[in-house]
Amino acid sequence: MRLLTHNMLSSNIKGVTNGFPLGIEVEKVIEKQVDFNPDFLKNMLLKIEWKALVDASRSLGYAELPEEAPESSVIDSDDFLRKLHHALLELHLEEGALVCPQTGRKFPVNKGIPNMLLHEDEV
Amino acid sequence: MKLKQLESLLGDLQQFSNPKVELEQYPTGPHIASRLLYTAENSFGDVSNKVVADFGCGCGTLGAAAALLGAEQVLAFDIDTESLELASENAEELELDINFVQCDISNLVWRGQIVDTVVMNPPFGTRKKGVDMDFLCVALKVASQAVYSLHKTSTRDHVRRAALRDFNASSAEVLCELQFDVPQLYKFHKKKEVNIAVDLWRFVPKRNQGKVL
């Protein structure tokens, strides 16, 4: 599971009002190289929740992203975009869990696939 | 990539060996899948360099087609473990990089319009009433650019009304009518193969401010 996916998903348990961002429990992280596309990254910057991405990348052991959302002057820098690229697209949570921030319920991640299915009493 | 080439690559994908009737697992044939994605890319520019989501991906045909046509990231969602395994195998076979998520689309909660385009062949809702409309409702909440979907031609008026009035669509257009060949997959199918007329729809979601869900 890429952090791009993490940045979209929210806990969907009935009654949970603030299910984003999901916490991360790490068992195994892997890295896969993908092509670097600066225009795509700049476009994604408008859509992602910065703090959730920073925290998630730290959970996965990558601490290079700046704490604060980047200023527009930084966005074009190659160094910054490469770090964003790595955090958003190359880090994968292969085994572990996503944790509902409100209830602590764990959604398992196996073979890189998060399982967001709910039990009957959670729908 | 040429349409023929796309269709031929999709024709090599593995299909369900034990389709589940309750999930209405009819495979999206390579003919329909290739035309859906080809139109999305060549007439509207909704695929290459975009984030594309495949809702109810089944064996992963539409998601694979999106990746083959140059989608920057593809996310594929299904409720069924076996479908996801099959779809991952199919992606691996074509050396495609697809993000899979196991979830029930009907209760997917998502932080706003993050994907550009949703492509889907939803269950027609003949076994579980209304599930096709649930898919459309969620798709129109998460897509920022367009939703492509297949619905029975017999439901055309209903789909248009629901999309425009209830589901956040600013436009709803039938791009073409196709024949969906449903082979005899289940015991209750009396005929060897039936053709169902389906519409290929393109919906454009309204822009919304900030978070949706």
One-letter amino acid of A54: V
pLDDT in tens, B179-199: 877 666 566 666 666 788 999
B213·A10 Cβ contact <8 A? yes
Contact (CB, 8 A) for B124 and B105: no
Is 0.90 exceeded by the ipTM?
yes
CATH label of the domain that carries residue A67 = 2.20.25.10
Least confident of B16-20, B68-72, B185-189: B185-189
In a 13 Å sphere around the CA of B163, the CA atoms on its Cβ side amount to 28
Residue A110's pLDDT band, with cuts at 50, 70 and 90, is very high
Q: What is the DSSP letter of B125?
A: S
State which residue of chain A sits closest to B71, comparing Cα positions.
Answer: A40
User: In this model, does residue B77 exceed pLDDT 80?
Assistant: yes
pLDDT at B172: 97
Collapse the DSSP code of B31 into the 3-class scheme (helix H, G, I; strand E, B; otherwise coil) and give the result: helix
pLDDT at B67: 97
CA distance B19 to B181: 15
Largest CA distance in chain A: 49
DSSP code per residue over B56-108? T-TTTHHHHHHHHTT-SEEEEEES-HHHHHHHHHHHHHTT---EEEE--GGG-
User: Which of A47, A111, A116 is opposite residue B114, by nearest beta carbon?
Assistant: A47
Interstrand relation of B193-205 and B169-183 (parallel, antiparallel or unpaired): antiparallel
User: Which of A7, A12, A117 is opposite residue B109, by nearest beta carbon?
Assistant: A12
Contact (CB, 8 A) for B5 and B169: no
Domain chopping of chain B, boundaries: 3-205
CATH for the B3-205 domain, from 3.90.79.10, 3.40.50.150, 3.30.70.20, 3.30.590.20 = 3.40.50.150
Q: What are the residues whose beta carbons fall under 8 Å from the beta carbon of B85, sequence distance 6 or more? A: none
Q: Please report residues of A whose CB lies closer than 8 A to that of B100.
A: 112-113
Collapse the DSSP code of B212 into the 3-class scheme (helix H, G, I; strand E, B; otherwise coil) and give the result: coil
Interface test with A, best of B72, B95, B106, B207 (most A CBs within 10 A): B72
Show the domain range for A118.
3-122
| Averaged pLDDT score across all residues of chain A | 95
- Spatial CA neighbour of B105 closest among B88, B122, B90: B122
A114·B112 Cβ contact <8 A? no
State which residue of chain A sits closest to B81, comparing Cα positions.
Answer: A115
Interstrand relation of A113-114 and A106-110 (parallel, antiparallel or unpaired): antiparallel
Query: Which of A:14-43 have CB within 8 Å of B?
Result: 19-20, 32, 34, 37, 39-40
User: Which of B51, B99, B102 is opposite residue A115, by nearest beta carbon?
Assistant: B102
A9·B72 Cβ contact <8 A? no
User: In this model, does residue A86 exceed pLDDT 60?
Assistant: yes
Q: Any idea which residue has 């697992």 for tokens?
A: B25
User: In this model, does residue A79 exceed pLDDT 80?
Assistant: yes
